Amino acid sequence: MGRGPVELKRIENKINRQVTFSKRRNGLLKKAYELSVLCDAEVALIVFSSRGKLYEFSSVGMNRTLERYQRCCYTPQDNSAIDRETQNWYQEVSKLKAKYESLQRSQRHLLGEDLGPLSIKELQNLEKQLEGALSQARQRKTQIMIEQMEELRRKERHLGDINKQLKNKLEAGQGSLRAIQGSWDSTPLVDANNTFPAHPTQSNSMDCEPTLQIGYHHYVPPEGSTVPRSVACESNFIQGWVL
Name the residue ranges covered by the structural domains of the chain: 14-73, 209-243
* Predicted pLDDT at 241: 42
User: Could you tell me where the beta strands, DSSP code E, fall in the chain?
Assistant: 44-48, 54-58
The answer to whether 46 and 54 are in contact (CB under 8 A) is yes
Question: What is the pLDDT, as a whole number, of residue 213?
Answer: 52
- Across the chain, which has 243 residues, the per-10-residue mean pLDDT values are 70 90 93 92 92 90 88 66 80 89 86 83 88 91 94 94 90 78 61 50 48 52 55 48 41
168, burial (CB in 10 Å: exposed 0-12, middle 13-18, buried 19+): exposed
pLDDT of residue 5: 72
Q: Provide the pLDDT for residue 45.
A: 93
User: How many whole angstroms separate alpha carbon 202 and alpha carbon 194?
Assistant: 19
pLDDT at position 171: 84
List Cα–Cα distances, 21 to 24, 31, 45, 63, in angstroms.
5, 15, 15, 26
CB atoms under 10 Å from CB of 202, counted, come to 14
What pLDDT is stored for residue 121 in this prediction? 87
> Which parts of 74-150 are beta strand (E)?
none
Q: Indicate the burial class of 235 (C-beta count within 10 angstroms; 0-12, 13-18, 19 or more).
A: buried
Alpha-carbon distance 160 to 168, whole Å? Answer: 12
Q: State the pLDDT at residue 147.
A: 94
Say whether domain 14-73 belongs to CATH 3.20.20.80: no
